[in-house]
Structure 1
Amino acid sequence: MTGGGFGDGVLHPRNEGRIRVLHVDDDVQFRDLTKTFLEQLRDEFEVTSFADPTIAIEHVDEFDCVVSDYQMPDVDGLDFLSLVREHDDSIPFVLFTGQGSEEIASEAISAGVTDYIQKEGSRDQYEVLANRIENVVARHRSEQRLRDSERRYRELADASPVPMGIHVPDDGIIYVNDAAVEFFGADSAEAVLGRSPISLMHPDDRSTVAERIGSLFEDGEALPGEPERFVGLDGEVRTGIVSAVPTTVEGRTAAHVVVNDISSYLDAKARISAQQSLVQTIIDTLDDMVYVFEDDRLIRWNERVAEVTGYDDAALASMSPLDFVAAADIEDAAAYVERISEDGRATGTFELETADGDRRPFEFEGFCVEADGTEFRVGIAREPRSEDRRLEEYRKLVEAVGDPMYLLDDEGTIETANEAMADILGISKQAVIGEHASSFMTDGDFVCGTALVSEVLSDPDRTSGTYEFTVARPDGGRIAVEDNVTPLLDERGNYVGSVGVIRDISERKRRENELERQNERLDEFASVLSHDLRNPLNVAQATVENMASDSEDRGGQLDVLRESHQRMADIVEDALTLAREGASVTEPTETRLDEVAGAAVSGVDTAGHAVEVRADATIVADEPRLQRLLENLVRNAVEHGGATVRIDASTDPETGMVTVSVADDGPGIPESEESSVFDSGYTNSETGTGFGLAIVRQLAEAHGWSVTVEESELGGARIEIAGVTPA
């Protein structure tokens, strides 16, 4: 026996295509012979040999299989096996020894060798060894893949929000994820493991579930999802859609179970059903006929409808509300239904004709409601009744509808309002009731509302009226609304209050204001074309006439003519800019102010002037419009100021809003003219168009900014843009 170290093989990382064999034998000749035969018999084998087990153990992690002699100095084959198992408890280990005996074989198997082969001198023996190596490596790799697959499954299952588990027939539940622990009402997974799934089922469902589980293991086919009830360890009953597929775990038949918890869904469904039943019960107890119709067909009604009309539910399902009305009132009733669709609400009194031909007057009231994007019309029909009853029903109606609605007494005090109305006013419903209507509007709007009620009361052909006002909320907010007001009268015709339905018209008002601003800009544009162009046009006309009579100074006269034409072109261009740039900014973006200011300076002839940009801020703006605004300010400062122009930006520490300014060291603007410098046509230059600062104002207002002029610290004028939103 000879000692040694590394063999002459080259180490490579493991891969599925190659089989790396670590061979340990202190006999150099036998070591070389084994390496030669194995690599000749199998192209995929790469054998690395070592003489010393203590050196070989340092490289065991780099191999797929270990082949070791038994009798070696210092460390024998079984001792080496112990060292290997400390590094890797699953790598295949083949004991290949010439010291064969039943005792050694028994000891080796007890120690955990993967295989045991006695050395012989024949080539066939090495074929056997090669086969054994192939088999144990293939089995080890298969087991490793299975372990990896199970590990990945557990990682995915652990992270899943869906309850999952694994059930083995003889061992019960062997795995549950966190979602399953919560579903079963347990404190930990240990409280569930080992239990039979049947023990967690509702007693009434156990036999059915036992049959399903039995069929899964007998037939080996997946179980489709079925709703089952469970009783958790906390005593709570939960319902889940249970599906399962057969699988194997560590060689054992098992079932992978998934439970889709539908307890919350069923609870919500039960609540909705109970609420619907309650609503229907409440509606059925009303003395009024209440019905819902869509496309002129009844889709829901209370019991009172059948009682009054004499039609059963089957007949009502195919009827229209107009089928209740006597022939003489059909035309008026059809107009009433049309008003419901057009105005959102309508009232009318018509004769109702029952199934047996009886006729009697009924008061009808209808309004529109929207649910899930579909508009429905709700109708209420009642026989004429006392005023107290009428007011009480109005209160119920106010509470029931989804649109903002209120009820006032004859002095303007709010008797009731629904939640939607409270949301518009900006306070709780409890705080609304008892307040005077004037608390939420200006004095002028309240006078208009009072006048409208008087107009309706004085006109026998009117039952309601509409006016607009602005809600003044306690938080300082303002909301433009439209109020459809219906005065209420008692049996003697006395005014006892009013009911109103509110509609938010803020967006409509915004569009109207924008249209008004556009019209103002068009008027201004027309004024410019008709007035401001007249002077240069007159100059040009006079120059042409002079040229016709004086031929000696035509060169100078042509210069005057060119200047007049250029001035007219400048006026037209600036007027068009003024008209186009006034629209509101709809898609502002994050903008670097210093970069836009630099681009603006580059677009202006600043020869002979020092322009300093100190505007290090990022704001929200329409970048092209912002650049035009700054170009006009820089051009104005260069043309009318001194030698120095400065662009600054500052941030208000309290509001965070940014202020942008352009200052110069010129003569400044007289205090008496500061209020008119932003007007169209204002200029103190014979060549200016007077639109530069007017365009600045339009561009600023389009962003929602304010613009002012004041004396600068440089001694000239300082134009300030305030209210700029930071990015």
Structure 2
Amino acid sequence: MASTNPGSEMTSIDDRATAIRVLHVDDDPDFGELAATFLERERDGITVTTATSVAVALERLREETFDCIISDYDMPRADGLTFLQMVRADNPDLPFILFTGKGSEEIASDAISAGVTDYLQKGTGTDQYAVLANRIGNTVAQHTAEHAIRETRERFKRLIEYSADVVSIVDANGVYQYLTPSSERVLGYSPEELIGENGFEYVHPEDRSVAMEAFAHTVEDAEVTPKIEFRFDHKNDGWIWLENHARNLVDDALIGGFVVNSRNVTQRKRREQELTRQNERLESVVDAVSHDLRNPLNVAEGHLDLARRINDPEHFDRVEKAHDRVKQIIDDLVTLARKGETVEESDPVDLRAVVQGAWRNTATYDATLRGDATGTLRADRSRLQRLLENLFHNAVEHGSTGNRNGRSGDAVEHGGDGVRVEVGRLESGFYVEDDGPGIPPEDRRRVFRSGYTTGVDRTGFGLAIVKEIVEAHGWEITVTDGREGGARFAITGIDFV
């Protein structure tokens, strides 16, 4: 273990002037001073601080930072190995070289067992300092490299753990072999829960074939790196959208599988869907502005011209009626454009009170309201009232008991004489029903489309606005036959307080 022959040492150490601070502990002050002088001469960058006892050395360690410790073995009160144990308590990785004149195989064995970095027996002559300087340089360089590797590994571990992505390795069948810790945050499952599971079993059935086909291309051709999006069954949050990138690294000895990067893009998909809905509403507004508004304006312009020519008050009445229709169209367009946003804040709302308020705001003529819908639900009160007003208006205008040959649902206009409207409670919502002619099954999906109407004086936005408000709350709406042959609109998915 001991070596005093400088020729036996490696001579390829880095001779650059790298600063190395050394603490040399030896109870012989003269030897300590001599060793410091030779070490600083032997290697540029070495600075030696001496201490003549373990107590003094510990004090130095508390006050300063050192890159390496050199210690004698045989010292009063505490020997070199005892000092080593004290150092390791606070500095488990600090290079520690035992440089002693009292050498034996037993001491060398004890030193290695205690975790000494290197062991060197003192000799005669000055060549030993060249050896010691070389040992110091190599030891510090190795320690610095190992420390850098540990830092890199820890940094990589934390990057992987806190990454927004999940990195996994799967076999050719899609069975998980490895997942990064971020899987629990992104997917809801810990790596241990998914390893050994087939990833395709967690893909939405409607997306599974597309995902499997893309993965098959990667299996067949290592150059193919597909990017696909699909729904994944999150442990706690239901279906989420993932964006997956797969790469074939089967031939990589360290990987031996397919590396898949998965990112949660649910929020982006929701924004895209909302943007699509907004664009559809915008198209409806544009269509209405270009067509529905032009018609009543042309009517108003024509009657105004006639009124000027023949001064007949009847034409002014028709101009006023045309302007009223323009106002109604504008009101519907503004509601359709602005009220489709998701309801972010809601308050407890008394259903009976908002029903009565909506009925008072609707031109009901001699129509009657019945039913006893009660309960408190969380909603945007103004939007809920607008929803009910539109359903009431639809029933009154198109559900006339005086003419059973027409259609309701923003289809054919009739008078509101005697129509009966009922609002009632359901287990998870409420319904609005009239006793008019009803809506044929083939028209029930189309009645909610913006601008859909078969009436010459209707905008076709009433029920579209109803659907927008329903979806903004996260509810659902369906239309069926009423008990007395009319139309029945059921709004469900509501949690009553």
Following TM superposition, by how much is the alpha carbon of 1:467 offset from its aligned partner in structure 2, in angstroms?
A: 4.0
The aligned counterpart of 2:462 is 692
| Amino acid in structure 1 at the alignment position of 2:292 | D
Superposed, which structure 2 residues align to 1:438-449 within 5 Å?
438-441=200-203, 442-449=208-215
The aligned counterpart of 1:669 is 439
Secondary structure class of the residue paired with 1:630: helix
Superposed, which structure 2 residues align to 1:304-703 within 5 Å?
310=141, 313=144, 404-418=166-180, 420-421=182-183, 429-430=191-192, 432-441=194-203, 442-451=208-217, 457=223, 466-472=227-233, 477-488=238-249, 490=251, 496-544=256-304, 551-552=309-310, 554-641=312-399, 642=401, 643=418, 644-651=420-427, 658-703=428-473
Taking the aligned partners of 1:716 and 1:582, their CA distance within structure 2 comes to 28
Contact kept, 8 Å, 1:399 with 1:417, in 2: the verdict is no
Structure 2: runs of 5 or more not aligned = 1-88, 94-136, 402-417
Q: Could you give the per-residue CA deviations for residues 490-516 of structure 1, whole angstroms, max 9, x where no partner exists?
A: 369x99422233332222322232222
1:705 pairs, out of 468, 475, 479, with 475
C-alpha spacing 1:561/1:309, structure 2 compared with 1 (3 Å): farther
Taking the aligned partners of 1:416 and 1:307, their CA distance within structure 2 comes to 38
Following TM superposition, by how much is the alpha carbon of 1:726 offset from its aligned partner in structure 2, in angstroms?
A: 1.6
Q: Which has the higher contact order (CA 8 A, sep 6+)?
A: 2
Following TM superposition, by how much is the alpha carbon of 1:670 offset from its aligned partner in structure 2, in angstroms?
A: 3.4
C-alpha spacing 1:568/1:420, structure 2 compared with 1 (3 Å): same
Taking the aligned partners of 1:480 and 1:681, their CA distance within structure 2 comes to 32
Following TM superposition, by how much is the alpha carbon of 1:426 offset from its aligned partner in structure 2, in angstroms?
A: 5.6
Secondary structure class of the residue paired with 2:466: helix
Taking the aligned partners of 1:482 and 1:308, their CA distance within structure 2 comes to 47
Taking the aligned partners of 1:695 and 1:572, their CA distance within structure 2 comes to 13
| Amino acid in structure 2 at the alignment position of 1:499 | V
Following TM superposition, by how much is the alpha carbon of 1:309 offset from its aligned partner in structure 2, in angstroms?
A: 10
Secondary structure class of the residue paired with 1:608: coil
Secondary structure class of the residue paired with 2:452: coil
Task: Write 1 or 2 for the structure with the bigger share of strand.
Answer: 1
| Amino acid in structure 2 at the alignment position of 1:503 | R
| Amino acid in structure 1 at the alignment position of 2:393 | R
Following TM superposition, by how much is the alpha carbon of 1:483 offset from its aligned partner in structure 2, in angstroms?
A: 2.9
TM-score (norm 2): 0.59
Superposed, which structure 2 residues align to 1:75-474 within 5 Å?
310=141, 313=144, 404-418=166-180, 420-421=182-183, 429-430=191-192, 432-441=194-203, 442-451=208-217, 457=223, 466-472=227-233
Taking the aligned partners of 2:485 and 2:442, their CA distance within structure 1 comes to 17
Following TM superposition, by how much is the alpha carbon of 1:366 offset from its aligned partner in structure 2, in angstroms?
A: 10
Equivalent pairs counted in the alignment come to 342
Secondary structure class of the residue paired with 2:446: coil
Taking the aligned partners of 1:581 and 1:615, their CA distance within structure 2 comes to 25
Identity of aligned residues (%): 35
Structure 1: runs of 5 or more not aligned = 1-273, 279-305, 322-363, 371-377, 379-397, 459-463, 652-657
Residue 483 of structure 2 corresponds to residue 722 of structure 1: no
Contact kept, 8 Å, 1:487 with 1:495, in 2: the verdict is no
Q: Could you give the per-residue CA deviations for residues 200-221 of structure 1, whole angstroms, max 9, x where no partner exists?
A: xxxxxxxxxxxxxxxxxxxxxx
Taking the aligned partners of 2:161 and 2:329, their CA distance within structure 1 comes to 61
Secondary structure class of the residue paired with 2:483: coil
| Amino acid in structure 2 at the alignment position of 1:470 | R
TM-score (norm 1): 0.41
Following TM superposition, by how much is the alpha carbon of 1:646 offset from its aligned partner in structure 2, in angstroms?
A: 1.4
| Amino acid in structure 2 at the alignment position of 1:478 | W
Secondary structure class of the residue paired with 2:283: helix
| Amino acid in structure 1 at the alignment position of 2:209 | D
| Amino acid in structure 2 at the alignment position of 1:417 | L
Contact kept, 8 Å, 2:307 with 2:313, in 1: the verdict is no
Taking the aligned partners of 2:288 and 2:469, their CA distance within structure 1 comes to 19
C-alpha spacing 1:491/1:596, structure 2 compared with 1 (3 Å): closer
Following TM superposition, by how much is the alpha carbon of 1:489 offset from its aligned partner in structure 2, in angstroms?
A: 5.1
The aligned counterpart of 2:40 is none
Contact kept, 8 Å, 1:649 with 1:661, in 2: the verdict is yes
Which has more radius of gyration?
1
Taking the aligned partners of 1:429 and 1:470, their CA distance within structure 2 comes to 19
